[in-house]
Chain A
Amino acid sequence: SQQGEEDPQALSIQEGENATMNCSYKTSINNLQWYRQNSGRGLVHLILIRSNEREKHSGRLRVTLDTSKKSSSLLITASRAADTASYFCATRGDTGRRALTFGSGTRLQVQP
């Protein structure tokens, strides 16, 4: 079963605009990661935020984490057509195996 849900399921914006995606999860976590997937291919790791962190930046990406609400957001600033992809959050639990539990993803379309 999926750990969490991304919101929205689909998002369409114009180049240059910002895109915000949200993720909710259910159990205690050690860290939360965001991955990107281009049209049914392999996933690419974007950024990791640990459970004791509240915000993290990487280039045009900004991730926030609220463990009290069990939620995270991914902000892509100044989007480009090449950002068109599906974005998934994935959590690793704080006990047991290190396998990731993925959400259902947000499909982002950036119009040129």
Chain B
Amino acid sequence: ETGVTQSPTHLIKTRGQQVTLRCSSQSGHNTVSWYQQALGQGPQFIFQYYREEENGRGNFPPRFSGLQFPNYSSELNVNALELDDSALYLCASRGAGAYEQYFGPGTRLTVT
């Protein structure tokens, strides 16, 4: 088990709604990344935050947004949910200068 926690574990939302997922990074890690993993696929990079600023983004639309807080915890917000947003959402943290990422257990989002 890593020191990265995510909440909630599972979530069911309706198309068009908004959702906020939360992540608490491993102690001492100042960089957090969010990934979307569809069933049977590898994780896809959404964006990365370093010291409260977004410093990298994958091919996801602006309705996917995030925040990182001074204690390095973070949020992923998704507006106007679509059925294809149903997936496992993973956050991962790493320390300064490190390459290995430490993943949380994920939030399973189902959009109906």
> What is A's interface to B at a CB cutoff of 8 Å?
1-2, 30-31, 33, 35, 40-45, 48, 88, 90, 92, 96-105
Contact = CB atoms under 8 A, between A and B. Distances in A.
Contacts of B30: none
Interface residues of B, number: 28
Given A40-B108, A97-B55, A97-B56, A45 B100 contact: yes
A44 B2 CA distance: 8
15 contacts: A2-B44, A31-B99, A33-B99, A42-B4, A43-B90, A43-B92, A45-B100, A48-B99, A88-B42, A98-B31, A98-B48, A98-B99, A100-B43, A103-B42, A104-B42
Given A43-B103, A45-B102, A97 B42 contact: no
A92 B99 contact: yes
Interface string B76-97: 0000000000001010101000
Interface string B30-57: 0101010000011111001000000110
A33 B33 CA distance: 16
B42 A105 contact: yes
A21 B22 CA distance: 33
Contacts of A88: 42-43
B105 A41 contact: yes
